[in-house]
């Protein structure tokens, strides 16, 4: 059965950029997130490594969830955006996989996270109703878009990443997450996803995300000798309380997903995206092979 889109999909500027990042050995310092004192931030370095490790299997799950309904979409613009969404997510997964391998060589157990999330996502695809899986995807895309837009707009967030390759990858990833932030949501609406299910899947996705992030960050920290330096650990934990990614504004934006009138486009970032496209991909820079 074909289900039409409830309203015409607005045109959005988004494209698949065939980028590749290299990670020469020794190009990253052990704790690559910059702390308040200019030293490497212990806890945030592990948090970012864990989140990066969730991306390859997570992106695969997002692709499967959206692709399942691609033949039901009748709106030409939404069909185009679904294709771009899938292409962007494929490249995200590939580049984070390369980064995760580099982080593993530095001692971060990214393979533990990857294996767990891959298994969990495979079970979700197998046993969850497709519309529920799509609801989880739309909810998690709201998290990634909110954090991405924080990175693109808050100089404090950008300063945490210094001048490393991790900064380059996350800024590019953030740009594209913000570009396609409404695609999974619009597909969910187009195929008749209910408001009740949308809010429920947001709760479920939130529990899963925080459980995986907290559990594996703790496990990752336990493998790091620096964790057993009390002064270093406490200083990093104190800094975490002031993280630009954990502000009241960010929490308010995440909670906005539960409002009946919510739509990802309610938070307009057109100017931010225009600025960062020009900065990261100047007009003379080729973005296609």
| 245: pLDDT strictly greater than 70 | yes
pLDDT in tens, 74-107: 999 999 999 999 999 999 999 999 999 999 999 9
pTM for the structure as a whole = 0.93
Given the structure tokens 């292409």, which residue do they identify?
Answer: 87
Per-residue confidence (pLDDT) for residue 24, from 0 to 100: 87
Per-residue confidence (pLDDT) for residue 275, from 0 to 100: 97
pLDDT in tens, 64-76: 999 999 999 999 9
Count other C-beta atoms under 10 Å from residue 15's C-beta: 14
| 5: pLDDT strictly greater than 70 | no
Contacts of 202 (CB under 8 A, 6+ apart): 135, 139, 142, 257, 258
Going from the C-alpha of 125 to that of each of 36, 82, 188, 229, 236, the distances in angstroms are 41, 19, 16, 42, 37
Burial 100-117 (b: 16+ CB within 10 A, else e): bebbbebebbbebbbebb
d(CA 250, CA 253) in angstroms, rounded, equals 5
3-state SS class at 34: strand
Going from the C-alpha of 35 to that of each of 115, 149, 160, 178, the distances in angstroms are 29, 21, 7, 26
Per-residue confidence (pLDDT) for residue 285, from 0 to 100: 53
Question: Of 62, 70, 66, 64, whose CA–CA distance to 3 is shortest?
Answer: 70
Phi first, then psi: what are they for 239, rounded to 5°?
-65, -30
CA 199 to chain CA centroid, Å, is: 19
d(CA 92, CA 86) in angstroms, rounded, equals 10
d(CA 14, CA 21) in angstroms, rounded, equals 20
pLDDT in tens, 155-208: 999 999 988 889 999 999 999 999 999 999 999 999 999 999 999 999 999 999
d(CA 44, CA 51) in angstroms, rounded, equals 10
d(CA 100, CA 55) in angstroms, rounded, equals 10
Is residue 146 packed enough to be buried (19+ CB in 10 Å), middle (13-18) or exposed (0-12)?
Answer: buried
């Amino acid at each position: 059965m074909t289900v039409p889109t409830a309203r015409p999909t607005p045109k959005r500027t988004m494209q698949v950029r065939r980028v590749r990042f290299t990670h020469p050995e020794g190009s990253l310092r052990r704790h690559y997130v910059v702390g308040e004192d200019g030293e490497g931030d212990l806890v945030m370095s592990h948090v970012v490594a864990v989140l990066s490790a969730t991306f390859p299997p997570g992106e695969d799950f997002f692709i499967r969830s959206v692709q399942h309904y691609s033949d039901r979409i009748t709106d030409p613009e939404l069909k185009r955006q679904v294709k771009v969404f899938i292409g962007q997510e494929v490249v995200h997964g590939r580049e984070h996989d390369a980064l995760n391998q580099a982080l593993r060589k530095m001692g971060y157990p990214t393979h533990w996270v990857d294996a767990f999330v891959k298994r969990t996502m495979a079970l979700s695809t197998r046993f969850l109703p497709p519309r529920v899986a799509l609801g989880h995807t739309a909810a998690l895309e709201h998290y990634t878009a909110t954090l991405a837009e924080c990175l693109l707009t808050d100089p404090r967030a950008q300063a945490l990443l210094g001048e490393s390759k991790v900064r380059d990858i996350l800024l590019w990833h953030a740009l594209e997450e913000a570009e396609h932030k409404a695609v999974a949501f619009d597909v969910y609406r187009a195929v008749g996803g209910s408001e009740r299910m949308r809010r429920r899947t947001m709760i479920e996705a939130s529990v899963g995300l925080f459980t995986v992030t907290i559990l594996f960050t703790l496990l990752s920290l336990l493998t790091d000798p620096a964790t057993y330096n009390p002064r270093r650990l406490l200083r990093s934990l104190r800094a975490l309380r002031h993280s630009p990614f954990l502000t009241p504004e960010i929490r308010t934006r995440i909670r906005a997903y539960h409002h009946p009138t919510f739509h990802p486009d309610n938070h307009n970032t057109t100017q931010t995206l225009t600025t960062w496209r020009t900065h990261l991909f100047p007009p003379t820079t080729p973005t296609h092979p």
